[in-house]
Structures are given as structure tokens and as C-alpha cells.
Amino acid sequence: MRKTKEILRLHWQLGVGVRQIGRSLSISHATVIDTLRRAQAAGLNWPLPEDLDEAELEARLYPGNKQYTGGRSEPDWRQVHEELRDSKVTLRLLWTEYKREHPDGYQYSAFCKRYRQWRGKLDPVLRQTYRPGEKLFLDYAGDKVPVVDPATGETRRAEIFVAVLGFSNYAYAEAQWSQELENWIGGHVRALEYIQGVPEILVPDNLKSAVAKACRYEPDLNPTYQEMAAHYGAAVIPARPRHPRDRAKVEVGVQVVERWILAVLRHRVFFSLAELNQAIAEELVKLNEAPFQKLAGSRRLLYETVEKAALKPLPAQRYEFAHWKKARVNVDYHVEVEGNYYSVPHRLIKEQVEVRYTAGTVEVLYRGQRVASHRRSYGKGQYVTNPEHRPRSHREYLEWTPERLVLWAEKTGENTARLVQRLMAAKPHPEQGYRSCLGIMRLARCYGEQRLEAAAARALATEAVSYQSVKSILKRGLDRLPLAPVAGVVPIGHHPNLRGASYYAGEEGEHA
């Protein structure tokens, strides 16, 4: 249902087209159309009600779980055209795949006819034009910049992150240590703050940090990247693989940054990433203020006079970087995150959940709803547990302590208290005797405290200090019988074959 909500947000709030939504969310445009029709039929609008959870949304969109069958689904003719570039692919094969997904679609002859009509209108070259505030292109430069560690002399090469606005060509650049997700997201956040606004669409290359699964038509976005875009109210539509015109703007921007900034700095030696970024920032001002060669004005002038006003305002709070992962709840009702374990409600044992974790918190979501939230732990092998997540029996068990057990036993009687103390003292750790003591407590419910006190006295007298012994005494009614007097110890008199302590003391002296 997360993608369903994203479809509604992108279309109703941002006005993004159906095909662009499909590419952004890694789904077919027919699915986008079907979802929008169902939402309209269900009387929904944006924003969705806060109390509308995913289960209810699914029920309203798919009542009785019946699929929408009204109208014929129009194939994506551009996708068909691209597929036919492969010599092994035929129209009949593509029609067969289309009919498998849409049984009520066009027949083969109509499919071929409509494709030929579409192809006849195809322009030889699709020129890319951009509206102010529409797109921000993002990528990494091919060249890296060496940074020398002043302590060791070791050289490390920094990546250069580049962002370019489509209309004004206003550029942003910064140095990062790697292309990992955290750096990629951080670059976006700082780029948006640099341009002081948010465009409608973010256009990344098919970078691994941005796109979890690269695909020509339906790239699957990284969930953290998607969440960041939603925080700023932007859509993400990655450039298609092997389509250079899709990312021509950022490639030109990267080239300009390499020529105007990296080439200028090529003879300088940098000893920290901060020093490198300071130098890049200084050259970036010169780049954006440099006059165009064939047009009047500069990148900054075009940005400030036209494009800046078309950008959406930044949200009140900066996006906090978060990792996402899927996890299955273990039998101990905990999920593992970075070597530590966090509890979830025990009813979710064996269920698959989503985990969102930031620098300070760990959140667990089930079907889009948050079911647990914890302060993040940075140790190893630590358990962070909310007592409310435990089953009732576990909570009751953990509430008992040795002191509490003894206090309970004293209320029953002196012999019961001595018996409980003996049980815990006989174990290497008192908690190992909890189960036996709790069992004895339950015997009081069945037989009463008076009988339990008598059974405890008999168990102590006969040295039968265990739960099973006390249970047997009560079951057989031995607690009602008088205790037999314990025979005294008969002293042993003098005997010529008995050796005393002096004998062994003397023997030790001889051996010494």
C-alpha cells in the first residue's frame, strides 16, 4: 500500500503524469491508471484521512478483492518500440505478453495497427525542454580529487557530487568520500538548501545508492531515497539506462564542473575534505556567475530572476537520514538491527516487518503502521525491550525477585519461608530457583496456605527440599499426618581401631 499512497500523492498533490509515476515507482502505467480510477470511485482525495490505515485503504480500493476490468488498457507504445530494437523480439511476442497482463486488451491485428499509427507520429529526435522549477539532475563526476592525510601521507580520492537545475543550469557541487547511500542523500539535502527550494522532479542516474534495481522502464527506488523525496515533496524519476538524452543536462553539468572547477584546482594539494569543499564552493560561485557564451545573463541571473520563484519552499525541518530494511520477527519477539535486538509486540512473531533506523531511533512498521519505537543502542548484542511487548506470562515471571518470593512465603508461614530460602540457596544463582518457588506458590492456590505450611515443615524435616517433594506430600495427604520424632545421633565411644586428629597431625609431622 505504500506505493499506492505514493501514486495518489504524486498525481493529486504534485500533478505528475501517469507514465512518470510508473517509472518512478517501478510499476506499469496501467497499474497507475487503475489505482487512480479506484481511488476516485472510492471517493478518496488528497491528503488521505490520518486515521485511514493500509488495511482499510486496501479494502476501499479493492472491495471483495475484485480486479478492475472496465476499459481496454493502452500499451506503452514507446516501450514496445524500444523492445523491437532487439532482433529476437517480435510484435507477436510483445502482444502475447500484453494479453497475459491484460486479457481484455486489444487483439493482435488491432495491436499491430495502433502500433503503426503511433510509430508514424514519432519524431526523429525528441528535444528536451525544461520548465522553471521542474527538474534537478544529480550524478557523480567521473574524475576524483586526491586528498592527502597530513598525519600518514596516505592519499585518498574524493568523489564529486553534482546537481544541476534543468532550466537555468544553476549548479551545485561538493566532495564526498564515497557514493554510499548516506553521502548520496546528504548531497541531495545540501543541494536543495543551496538552491533554496525544491523542484518537482529529481532525476538521478541509475546509481546503486538511488536505484535498488536498475531497469530501463521500471527502476526500483531505494526506500530511503523515496522517503527523502516524500519529505521534500518531490518525485523521483531516474534516467533510463542507455538513454543519454535523459541525463544530458547533468552530464553537461558534470563536464562544466570538471572544466571550471576541478581543472582549476588540479595543481593544488588538499589535506582534508573540508579544505577541498571550501575551494569547490569558491569556484562554484565563479561558475554560476560566469556569463553565457551565446545568451545574455548567467546561471545565477537566470536562477534568481526566473527559476528560484518556481521552486517549492523547503520544509521546516531538514530530512534526517534513515536506513530501511526488512526483517522477520524472531521467536523471542525481537528484530536484529546492526548487531543489536529490539522488541516488537509478541503477536508479530514470525511476521515480516520493515525497520527504519536513524542515528537516534529505531522504528518498526507492520503493514505501514508503526508498532514499536526504541532509542537506538550502539553496543553489540544488546537487547532493547519494551515490557509491554512481552506476553503476559513473561511479564509476570520477570516481576518476581528473591526478596519478593521470601516476603510471599513469610505470609504463608515460617516453614514455607525457610523452604523457599533453601530452594534458592541450593542453586548457583537465585533465579534458577524461581521456577520451583513459583510452582510452590501455585500449590497454595490448590491446597491452601495451611496445608502448604505443614507440607513445608515435613519437607524440611525429611530433607526433601524440592517442588516435586512438596507436591507429593500434599497429593498423598502426608501433610495431615504427625511428624515422627527424629532419632537422635548415637555417640560413638572409644575403640582401639579409631584414630583421632592427633594421629594425623603426628603423621604429617613424620612426613615433613
| DSSP string of 32-73, one letter each residue | HHHHHHHHHHTT--SSPPTT--HHHHHHHHSGGGPPP--SPP
Q: Is 505 a member of any domain?
A: no
* β 361-366/352-357 pair status: antiparallel
Query: Last residue of some domain: 391, 420, 447?
Result: 391
Alpha helices in 258-315 (DSSP H): 273-289, 299-302, 308-310
Query: Last residue of some domain: 262, 278, 310?
Result: 310
Q: Is 490 a member of any domain?
A: no
- Predicted local confidence at residue 157, as pLDDT: 94
Answer whether 202's CB lies under 8 Å from 229's CB.
Answer: yes
> Burial level of 134, CB count in 10 A (0-12/13-18/19+)?
middle
Q: CA–CA separation, 133 vs 62, rounded Å?
A: 36
Do 379 and 417 belong together in one domain?
A: no
Residue type at position 292: F
Q: CA–CA separation, 387 vs 300, rounded Å?
A: 57
Q: Is 155 a member of any domain?
A: yes
Q: CA–CA separation, 321 vs 247, rounded Å?
A: 26
Give pLDDT tens digits for 66-106: 433 334 678 888 788 777 766 677 888 899 999 888 888 88
Q: Is 65 a member of any domain?
A: yes
Q: Which domain holds residue 22?
A: 2-120
Do 208 and 253 belong together in one domain?
A: yes
| Preceding peptide of 491 cis, ω within 30° | no
Neighbours of 342 (CB within 10 A): 27
Do 201 and 336 belong together in one domain?
A: no
Q: Is 501 a member of any domain?
A: no
Q: Is 130 a member of any domain?
A: no
> Burial level of 107, CB count in 10 A (0-12/13-18/19+)?
exposed
Which candidate, 219, 140, 126, 123, places its Cα nearest to that of 183?
A: 140
Which candidate, 447, 405, 445, places its Cα nearest to that of 427?
A: 405
Do 237 and 113 belong together in one domain?
A: no
| Percent of the chain at pLDDT exceeding 70 | 80
Q: CA–CA separation, 340 vs 334, rounded Å?
A: 9
Which set of grid coordinates corresponds to residue 370?
508503526
Do 142 and 232 belong together in one domain?
A: yes
Which residue carries 490505515 as its cell? 53
- Predicted local confidence at residue 303, as pLDDT: 93
Q: Is 511 a member of any domain?
A: no
Query: Last residue of some domain: 374, 391, 408?
Result: 391
Neighbours of 433 (CB within 10 A): 21
237 Cβ contact partners less than 8 Å away, ≥ 6 residues apart: 20, 23, 24, 201, 202, 203
Do 48 and 107 belong together in one domain?
A: yes
Do 442 and 341 belong together in one domain?
A: no
Q: CA–CA separation, 160 vs 304, rounded Å?
A: 25
Do 294 and 153 belong together in one domain?
A: yes
The predicted model scores a pTM of 0.51
Q: What is the pLDDT along the chain (512 residues), one digit of tens a residue?
A: 567 888 888 888 888 888 888 888 888 888 888 888 888 888 888 887 777 777 777 777 777 544 333 346 788 887 887 777 666 778 888 999 998 888 888 889 889 988 888 877 654 443 456 788 999 999 898 889 999 999 999 999 999 999 999 888 899 999 999 988 889 999 999 999 999 999 999 988 756 655 554 444 344 567 888 889 999 999 988 876 655 555 566 677 788 888 889 988 988 999 999 999 999 999 999 999 999 876 668 899 989 998 999 999 999 999 988 888 889 988 778 899 988 899 999 888 889 999 999 888 999 999 888 999 999 988 888 888 888 887 776 655 555 567 777 887 888 888 888 888 888 787 665 555 666 787 888 888 889 888 998 999 989 888 888 888 999 989 998 888 887 665 544 444 555 555 555 544 444 444 44
- Predicted local confidence at residue 69, as pLDDT: 35
Q: Is 499 a member of any domain?
A: no
Neighbours of 428 (CB within 10 A): 7
Do 116 and 144 belong together in one domain?
A: no
Do 99 and 55 belong together in one domain?
A: yes
Do 39 and 108 belong together in one domain?
A: yes
Q: How many distinct structural domains can be found in the chain? A: 4
Do 182 and 83 belong together in one domain?
A: no
Distance of CA 415 to CAs 238, 421, 425, 449, 458, Å?
77, 10, 15, 11, 9
- CATH number, domain of 145, equals 3.30.420.10
